[in-house]
């Protein structure tokens, strides 16, 4: 018996805590976002099928029977060339008899590059949910982030993939537009989310692990900007049944609910946070992790 040998750092969404992870790629094929330090020290690599197969084969049969969910890592594992990815998915079906769902992060390049024909074949092999870092629905902000995508182009592709049956968990990053673009970022991201209506939505807070001068031309947001931006974002979402979470380690306040149903409660909570912090100097202060960017 041998277990998968991971190359670290290894990231997965919090909701994949119970999934078995196979790293079919290592690092991020793009690795150029100005804010992201997840894979800066990791050279991108596509794992050959034989190496992946060796890891699967090393798992005892009785363990395989209990696996229901698999997460494919690293950063955008679905960038794996389609033919090889289908072979991997076929092998997973063959070896894990009770497998219900396979998930992965998906970068914009992989989403756009693969044809709908390929995505249909992928979906039919139980890869049915993708985690996508939109970060912002505003193209100016995306340029600052060097995300390498156009928000509308990706939106259309994702809507096509939803018609195939894919579920999406979308991440938006609070503070990504600094002070200058705070409102444009909130409103355009809310519009994008409303039009896509993903199953899950996470609101994280920008946490700079790479570009320390990120806020140079757009001003570093203070605590009050982040509260107001979260409120403007939630206020403008028109989607229905979106499971919303803002309780990542990067978040300064914790929010969870279902949009639109819990919108008023979430806005009231943010308003209470604002009132509670008023007059204590907190609203005008910077989050600790922005201190070196002021
Ligand atoms: S944000 Fe995603 S696409 Fe950008 S460098 Fe980080 S892992 Fe890669």
Q: Is 75 in the pocket of ligand 1 (CB under 6 A)?
A: yes
Residue ranges of the alpha helices (H) in the chain? Answer: 49-57, 61-64, 82-95, 108-113, 116-123, 139-145, 151-164, 182-196, 223-236, 263-277
Beta strand 69-73 with 101-105 is parallel
pLDDT averaged over consecutive 10-residue blocks of the chain (294 residues)? 81 93 96 92 96 96 96 96 98 98 97 98 98 98 96 98 98 97 98 98 88 86 96 96 88 90 96 90 86 70
What is the pLDDT at residue 248? 78
Q: Is 136 in the pocket of ligand 1 (CB under 6 A)?
A: no
Cα 231 to Cα 214: distance, rounded to the nearest angstrom: 23
Q: Is 175 in the pocket of ligand 1 (CB under 6 A)?
A: no
Q: What share of the chain is helix, strand, coil (3-state, %, to 5)?
A: 40, 15, 45
What is the pLDDT at residue 64? 96
Q: Is 29 in the pocket of ligand 1 (CB under 6 A)?
A: no
Q: Is 33 in the pocket of ligand 1 (CB under 6 A)?
A: yes
What is the pLDDT at residue 289? 77
Q: Is 133 in the pocket of ligand 1 (CB under 6 A)?
A: yes
What is the pLDDT at residue 287? 85
SS (H, E, C) 112-137: HHCCHHHHHHHHCCCEEEEEEEEECC
CA dihedral 210, 253, 268, 233 (to 10 degrees): 10
Q: Is 13 in the pocket of ligand 1 (CB under 6 A)?
A: no
Nearest to 185 by CA among 211, 158, 156, 147: 147
What is the pLDDT at residue 257? 97
What is the pLDDT at residue 247? 80
Q: Is 187 in the pocket of ligand 1 (CB under 6 A)?
A: no
- Choose one of 10, 23, 34, 38 to mutate for the ligand 1 pocket test, by most ligand atoms within 8 angstroms of C-beta: 38
Q: Is 31 in the pocket of ligand 1 (CB under 6 A)?
A: yes
Q: Output Rg (C-alpha) for the chain, integer angstroms.
A: 20
What is the pLDDT at residue 251? 82
- Helix count and strand count (H, E) for the chain: 10, 10
- Choose one of 25, 30, 37, 173 to mutate for the ligand 1 pocket test, by most ligand atoms within 8 angstroms of C-beta: 30
Cα 189 to Cα 139: distance, rounded to the nearest angstrom: 10
- Crossing angle (nearest 10°) for helices 182-196 and 151-164: 20
Instruction: Check if CATH label 3.20.20.70 holds for domain 14-288.
Output: yes
Q: Which atom of ligand 1 lies at the shortest distance from residue 37's CA? A: 6
- Choose one of 133, 141, 207 to mutate for the ligand 1 pocket test, by most ligand atoms within 8 angstroms of C-beta: 133
Q: Structural domain boundaries of the chain?
A: 14-288
Residue 281: cis peptide before it, omega within 30 degrees of 0: no
What is the pLDDT at residue 294? 66
Q: Which atom of ligand 1 lies at the shortest distance from residue 135's CA? A: 1
Contacts of 166 (CB under 8 A, 6+ apart): 119, 123, 128, 129, 130
Nearest to 255 by CA among 244, 240, 271: 244
Q: How far is CA 273 from the centre of its chain?
A: 26
Burial class (CB in 10 A: 0-12, 13-18, 19+), 182: buried
Q: Whose CA is closest to atom 8 on ligand 1?
A: 31
């Amino acid at each position: 018996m041998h277990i998968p040998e991971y190359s670290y750092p290894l990231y997965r969404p919090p909701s994949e805590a119970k999934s078995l992870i196979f790293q079919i790629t290592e690092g991020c094929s793009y690795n150029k976002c100005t804010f992201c330090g997840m894979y800066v020290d990791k050279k991108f690599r596509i794992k050959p099928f034989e190496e992946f197969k060796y890891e699967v084969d090393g798992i005892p049969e009785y363990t395989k029977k209990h696996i229901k969910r698999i997460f494919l890592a690293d950063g955008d594992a679905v960038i794996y060339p389609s033919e090889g990815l289908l072979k991997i998915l076929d092998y997973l079906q063959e070896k894990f008899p009770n497998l219900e769902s396979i998930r992965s992060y998906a970068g914009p390049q992989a989403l756009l590059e693969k044809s709908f024909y390929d995505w249909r074949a992928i979906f039919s092999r139980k890869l049915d949910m993708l985690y996508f870092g939109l970060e912002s629905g505003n193209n100016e902000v995306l340029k600052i982030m060097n995300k390498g995508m156009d928000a509308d182009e990706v939106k259309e592709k994702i809507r096509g993939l939803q018609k195939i049956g894919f579920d999406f968990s979308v991440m938006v990053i609070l503070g990504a537009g600094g002070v200058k673009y705070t409102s444009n970022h909130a409103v355009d991201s809310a519009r994008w989310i409303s039009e896509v209506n993903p199953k899950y939505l996470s609101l994280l807070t920008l946490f700079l692990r790479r570009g320390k001068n990120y806020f140079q031309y757009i001003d570093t947001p203070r605590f009050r900007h982040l509260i107001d931006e979260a409120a403007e974002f939630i206020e403008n979402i028109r989607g229905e049944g979106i499971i919303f979470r803002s309780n990542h380690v990067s978040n300064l306040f914790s929010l969870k609910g279902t949009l639109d149903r819990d919108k008023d409660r979430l806005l009231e909570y943010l308003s209470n946070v604002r009132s509670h912090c008023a007059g204590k100097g907190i609203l005008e202060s910077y989050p600790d992790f922005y201190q070196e960017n002021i």
